[in-house]
Every structure is written in C-alpha cells, then in structure tokens.
Amino acid sequence: MEQRRVLEVKNLKTSFFTPTGEVKAVDDVSYHLHEQEIIAIVGESGCGKSVTQMSVLQLIQSPPGKILGGQILFEGKNLLDYAPKSQEMRRIRGAGIAMIFQEPMTSLNPVYTIGEQLTEVIRTHTKCSRKDAWQIGVAALEAVGIPDAQERMRNYPFQMSGGMVQRVLTATAIACRSKIIIADEPTTALDVTTQAQVMELLLSLVEKYKTSIIVVTHNLGLVTRYSHRVYVMYAGKIIEAGATEDILMHPWHPYTRGLLECVPNLTEDKERELVPIQGAPPRLQNLPPGCAFKPRCTCVSGLCRDEFPTLRRIGPNEHWVACHLDAEVSQA
Amino acid sequence: MINFIIKRILVSFVVVFLVSLFVFSIMHILPGDPVRLAMGFEATEQDVQRVREQLNLNKPLVEQYVLWIGGLFRGEFGISIAYHRTVAALLQERLPRTINLGIPAMIFAIIVGVGFGIISALWRGKWIDQVITLISTLGAGTPQFWLGIVGIYIFAIGLNWFPMQGYTAPNQDFALYLKKAVMPVFCMAIVMFASLARQTRSSMLEVINQDYIRTARAYGISEFSVIFRHALKNALIPVITIIGLQVRVVIGGSLLVEQVFNIPGIGTMLTSAVSNRDYFVVQSCVLIISLFTVAANLIVDVLYGVFDPRIRLARG
Ligand SMILES: Nc1ncnc2c1ncn2[C@@H]1O[C@H](COP(=O)(O)OP(=O)(O)O)[C@@H](O)[C@H]1O
Ligand SMILES: [Mg+2]
C-alpha cells in the first residue's frame, strides 16, 4: 500500500555564492515524508542537512544563498513557486511546516517573554483575541510537558534551559497545528536524559496530532530508535536511503558503515573500539568529479575517480545507494 | 529596578556635589578679581573692598562655599557681578533659550539618526546606504562651530534662506523661532545624529543575522514585525549607550554653537562669565549643566531596563 506523501522534495539544489566560489550545499537532493512518519536525515556536520531543511521553508539568506532548482511539494503545491517573502510562504511557515532549530538558547528573542512570542505566532496564523491566543499557548506548553505553564509564559528565554526552550518551540508548532515538524539536531545541545525525552516527545506528537516529523542529526544511534526511514547525506547529496532496519542491518555505502561504527553500542561488549571515519568531510566548493567520499573511502575502485555514482535501488525493499561498490564486496 | 533607580539617584547627587566642589575651587584658584574687572580701574580700592564684603568674597573659602550651597537650597544662586542682577533671574531668562534649542536638537538627532540607521541597514550596499554612511562619517568628524560658520555663509549670507543669527522665543513668533533655530539645532545635533546612525546601522545588521530573527521568520511572522518588533528592540540596546554618551556632546556643543549664532543662552553667558570671573554665574551654569547630564544618564539607565529584561531582572 502506497502511503500518502505529505512532503516531497525533488532534485533540490541550493548554493552559496561566496567570494571564493560556489558552495554547492545541497546538490540534487530528493526525499519524501509520509503521513505520521518520522524520518531521519543523517550526516556529519557541514554536509548540507540544515541548508536542505532551510530551503524547504525558503529561509536561505540571499545573498549569498540561492535555491537553484527543484520542487518542494506540500499540500499539492510547489513551494518554490512562491516568493520567499510572499504571504503564501509565510502562511506555511509555522502553521504548515514548523522548524525547531539547532541552537535552542539563541533561537528565541531575548527581549520578549515566552508568552509574547508564542501568542504573536498564534495570532499570525489564527484569527483570535490576545486572551484566546494566551490560552492556546498555555495549553500547548502543557501538551509538551512544561510544568507551571502559566508561570512559564511570563518567563524570558534566558530564564529557561535549552531543553525547555526546545519544548517551547515544539509547543509553538503544536499551537499552530503544523502538519510537519522539522527538528534540526534537536538532541545535540542536550544531555543524554533530555535527549531521550525530546525524542519521546516528538514520537508522542505523531500519535496525538498526526504530525509528520523530520529529524536532522549527526548521531545515527539515538535517532534510529525512533525513525521509520533514514536518509544519509554526504557533501550535499543523499548517498543512501532506506528503511531504518535496512540501513542499520545492511548498510551499503562505506560512509554509512563508517557512521554506524561511530555509534557507541551499550548492548554489545564494551571492549569494541569506536572507529571514527578517517579524515574530514570535503569543503563543498570546487569538488572534483567522481565520488565525493573517495578520499576517505576504504574500498575505492577506478570508477569512483571519474564518475559520480547515481542513486540506484538495491534489494527488494526501497533501499537506495549512491556507490559503485558491488553487492558481494559490500556484504563482505 | 526601583532599588537600582534609587541607588542611581543617590550616585547622581554625589556627582553633582563633586562638580559643585570642583567648579567652585577652579573659579577661586584662577587669578583675576571679578569685582575689579566689573567696576573698572577707575573705581577706588575702598569701593571695590565694599562690594567684596557685600558679596561675602572676603570670607574664608570654605565659608563662601557653604554660603553658596546653602543659598542654592533656598533657590538663591547668588548675584552676577558683571550683570548686577541675580543669577536666578539670568537663568530664568536664558535657560529656556538653551533648552528650546538643545532639546529639539537631541530629539532630531535621535529620531533622524536612528531612522537613517535603520534605512541604511535595510538597504545595505544600495545608494541610500552609501549616502547615509557618507553623511554620518562626515558628520561625526565635523567641528560644530565650523559647520555653523559655513552654514551662515551659505544659507544666510549666500542663499538668504535663514536669518544669520539670533534667537526668538517660540511663544513670541513661532515661525521666526523655527527659521532661526534650523541651523543651530542642526549644528548641535550633527555629531549625535552621525554616531546614532552609525551605531543603529551596525547593530541592526548584527541583530538581523541572529538566530531568533530566523526563528521569527520561520514561524511566519510578518517582515514588518520582524524588523520593527523583533530586530529593532534588540538593536536599540547598544544605541541607548551611544545616546547616553552623546547627550554630553550635544550639551557641550550647544555652548559653542550659541557663540557662533549669537544666541543669548547659557552658553554665551557662561563663556563671558568665565572671562569676567563672574563666580556665581559660572558656578550655577556648570551646576545646571551637570544636573542635565546626570538626569539624561539616569533616563538612559532606566531605558536600558525597559529595553533589556536581562538587565531589568538582574538589577532586582
Ligand atoms: N551563509 C552561508 N554562506 C556560505 N556557505 C554556507 C552558508 N550557510 C551554510 N553554508 C555552507 O553550506 C554547507 C552546509 O551547511 P549545513 O547545512 O549547515 O551543514 P549541516 O549538515 O551541519 O547542517 C557548509 O559547508 C557551509 O559551509
Ligand atoms: Mg546543521
């Protein structure tokens, strides 16, 4: 049975035009999100995950950034047909697709209270009185498990912890009945217990509000426990995609396997050494032809040098990979 | 916040007290006899001595100081030796003139400076930004009296747009007041205007790139609210600092500008009083100027709290 796709990104390309050249931060990226699904977008830092998500809401700073092509299909419309500052685009931001940003501590305006900021967003998207907006806000804060919600509405962001601010942003998305929540590194700035709480909260939203969620992360370990499908990004491209168990059990791309080896696994024996991937991700300008991963790859063949591997489907499931490696070698 | 304000008011009193001590000492240390200067050299030594006694100038310095301060609390500022009038009457006549030019200059500098700064930031790199940047760069470095002289030369003598100099009270003839006020107000405001435009532009540009501005946009907030509600309130916090510093510059500048435009305000009175060693006039003027400065800084401190909750709450 084919599930309904609430978001479909097709061949998205976003570049930054810097004095030193074009930075291809997002290079022909396609992915989709089903109703009530959680997907994970995984990759090392600097590989274009955030820029991809910012492009979806057309929040790319321009100049230097520019969305060069592709389609973003949401509720039957291509969002790229709208101008970034258009009324239509603004209506979708927050109320259709809401974003929770990477740095919670700097994500809210320091000179306004939580209540002032929350009610302003609510009143932007819903015709209602200040009082009603306040009530909706309080209810949303309670829904994300913030104690003393009335009290908290009068707090300023600096009086809260990072985890709490993240919940406030999540509450904002809920208050506006957002269909999709994009959480950019929601766990990175938090301690381990809070990380799990944040993920549990997001999971609960899927059931309670029928939300669909995109989680961006560089930590394959935590997210995969919650996501249905995984997209692996490298150097501005998706290099592997598939159902979470396929990616975890049969990772194909050497990069994906490298990422998995970085994950501390508490159930396995503790002696196992964590093997980080050698080297660093490439800078995304003037990339040479061929596979972007080849300088760090352990199984380079002649083909990798000259030809960029396109995404191809492997196996019976929807498991895709962009790698020249053959099945036998990969499974070895 | 209330505690903080009370504390600041107490500090202000100490500052004003120190200023009074300072100006009193300076005046009495400076050589030159005000009575002799006022009465001329044909007056006999006895006459001069008699006037000195009338003015208590023969008493020990400490006693003179105490008498002066005590008088202030009764609203008596002393007597001008050169003008033969009470300083209170002189102030009543001249202070409104200085205020009627100084306050509009500050308001003009704040509104236009901040406004131009915002425009400059929003149209960064465009021609309007370049024009504003040029004006504010020149403005910050232009001596006010020089600007005044050039202004008189071009707009009064050359183009005959404005009267050359002088002052008319607004309640007497408002149109004439405006005509005469344009150039001096502009000269008094130019430095403050320039630094406010520059500070507003740079802090606006900095704030626009902050994460919370991106968040506001990401939640569909209108561009108007993003700029004028979310960005501006943050950007104005460092601007307030500059306002606090520049108020002093305007007050200082107005003393000079009054000279250039021959405005019979506090500035011209203070300048001639210094050369006449007119003790009570100088002391009172300096004290009043310091009162204004202290009050302006107090307002700035309160504004900080209004704009920045982190400061407001930290102050308790
Ligand atoms: N404003 C910008 N100007 C130039 N380059 C940028 C800008 N923002 C992001 N980039 C580049 O885009 C690439 C992807 O960044 P990002 O999406 O933030 O990575 P991440 O996967 O860590 O979220 C990086 O190489 C970064 O240098
Ligand atoms: Mg990122």
Reported confidence tier of residue A48, pLDDT bands at 50, 70, 90: very high
Tell whether A63 lies on the interface with B, counting CB pairs under 8 A.
Answer: no
Answer yes or no: is pLDDT of A229 > 90. Answer: yes
Q: Mean of the per-residue pLDDT values for chain B?
A: 86
- CA B157 to CA B153: how far, in whole Å? 5
Contact assessment for residue B291 and residue A93, using Cβ atoms and an 8 Å cutoff: no
* Strand bridging mode A312-314 / A237-243: unpaired
Task: Point out the residue among A92, A106, A111 whose CB comes nearest to the CB of B307.
Answer: A111
Give CA–CA dist A254/A325, Å, rounded. Answer: 9
The per-residue pLDDT for A276 is 63
**Facing residue for B219 by CB, picked from A85, A98, A156:** A98
CA separation (Å) from A157 to A143, A283, B50, B215? 19, 35, 71, 13
Return residues 141-170 of A near B (CB < 8 Å).
156, 158-159, 169
Q: Tell which wins on pLDDT, A130 or B176.
A: A130
Cα A12 to Cα A290: distance, rounded to the nearest angstrom: 20
- Whole-number pLDDT of residue B48: 76
CA distance A293 to A280: 10
Alpha helices in chain B (DSSP H): 2-29, 34-39, 45-54, 61-73, 87-122, 127-141, 144-151, 174-208, 211-218, 223-225, 232-260, 266-276, 279-307, 309-314
**How far is CA B275 from its chain centroid?**
22
Q: Which amino acid is at B316?
A: G
Domains of chain A as residue ranges with CATH: 5-316 (3.40.50.300)
3-class DSSP string for A106-156? HHCCCCCCHHHHHHHHHHHHCCCCHHHHHHHHHHHHHHCCCCCHHHHHCCC
- Give the confidence band of A332 by pLDDT, cuts at 50, 70, 90: very low
Instruction: Give the number of residues written for chain B.
Output: 316
Pairing of strands A237-243, A319-321: antiparallel
Domain ranges of chain B: 96-263
* Strand, helix or coil for residue A99: strand
On average, the pLDDT of chain A sits at 87
Which of A86, A109, A116 has the most B C-beta neighbours within 10 Å, making it the best mutation to test the interface with B? A109
Summarised one tens digit per residue, pLDDT across range B80-94 is 877 888 888 888 888
Q: How confident is the model at residue B108 (pLDDT cuts 50, 70, 90)?
A: very high
For chain B, say whether A56 makes contact (Cβ under 8 Å).
no
Triad A182, A183, A184: Cα angle to 5° = 110
Nearest-by-Cβ selection for B215 from A61, A101, A111? A101
A18: tokens are 């810097």
Q: Name which residue sits closest to atom 6 of ligand 1, judged by CA.
A: A16
- In angstroms, rounded to a whole number, what is the distance separating the alpha carbons of residues A9 and A61? 20
Q: CA nearest A5: which of A102, A71, A90, A94?
A: A71
**pLDDT value, residue B143:** 84
Instruction: Answer yes or no: is the C-beta of A16 below 6 A from any ligand 1 atom.
Output: yes
Structure confidence at residue B77 as a pLDDT band (50, 70, 90): confident
Q: Does A90 touch chain B (CB under 8 A)?
A: yes
- Provide the 3-class DSSP secondary structure of residue A272: coil
Residue with tokens 């009082």: A131
CA B136 to each of CA B20, B84, B101, B119, B154: distance values in angstroms, whole numbers, following the listed order:
36, 44, 21, 13, 20
Report residue A264 as tokens. 């501390």
Q: Would you place residue A113 in the very low, low, confident or very high pLDDT band (cuts 50, 70, 90)? A: very high
> Are A212 and A179 contacting, i.e. CB atoms less than 8 angstroms apart?
yes
Residue whose CA is at the smallest distance from ligand 1 atom 19 = A46
Three-state secondary-structure class, residue B203 = helix
Element (H, E) at A32: strand A21-34
| Diameter of chain A measured on Cα atoms | 67
Q: Do B222 and A124 touch (CB under 8 A)?
A: yes
Q: So what's the pLDDT on residue A130?
A: 92
Q: Which of B310, B312, B210 is nearest to A159 (CA)?
A: B310
The pLDDT assigned to A2 comes to: 65
- The distance of Cα A13 from the centroid of its chain, to the nearest Å, equals 16
Say yes or no to pLDDT of B107 above 80. yes
Lowest mean pLDDT among A98-112, A247-261, B104-118, B153-167: B153-167
Full-model pTM:
0.83
A110 cis-preceded (ω within 30 degrees of 0): no
Contact flag B309-A111 (C-beta cutoff 8 Å): yes
Q: What is the mean pLDDT of residues B167-193?
A: 85
State whether residue A176 sits within 8 Å of chain B by CB. Answer: yes
Tell whether A109 lies on the interface with B, counting CB pairs under 8 A: yes
How many Cα neighbours within 13 Å face the side chain of B61? 10
How many C-beta neighbours within 10 Å does residue B18 have? Answer: 11
Rounded mean pLDDT of B250-279?
85
A158–B221 C-beta distance less than 8 A: no
Residue A248 CA to residue A224 CA, distance in Å, equals 8
d(CA B255, CA B263): 10
The interaxial angle of helices B232-260 and B87-122, nearest 10 deg, is 140
pLDDT at residue number B241: 87
Nearest beta carbon to residue B210 from set A106, A120, A124: A106
Q: What one-letter code names the amino acid at B48?
A: V
pLDDT digits (tens, 9 = 90+) for B227-244: 999 999 999 999 998 898
Q: Which comes out higher in pLDDT, residue B199 or B63?
A: B199
Which region among A20-29, B74-83, B119-128 has the lowest average model confidence (pLDDT)? Answer: B74-83
A61 pLDDT exceeds 70? yes
Across A107-119, average pLDDT: 95
With a cut of 60, say whether residue A273 has pLDDT above it.
Answer: no
- For residue range A187-208, list pLDDT tens digits in order: 776 777 878 888 888 899 998 9
Neighbours of A276 (CB within 10 A): 10
Min Cα–Cα distance to chain A from B113, Å? 23
Q: Which ligand does the CA of A20 lie closest to?
A: 1
Class of domain B96-263: mainly alpha
d(CA A324, CA A308): 9
CB B144 within 8 A of CB B188: yes
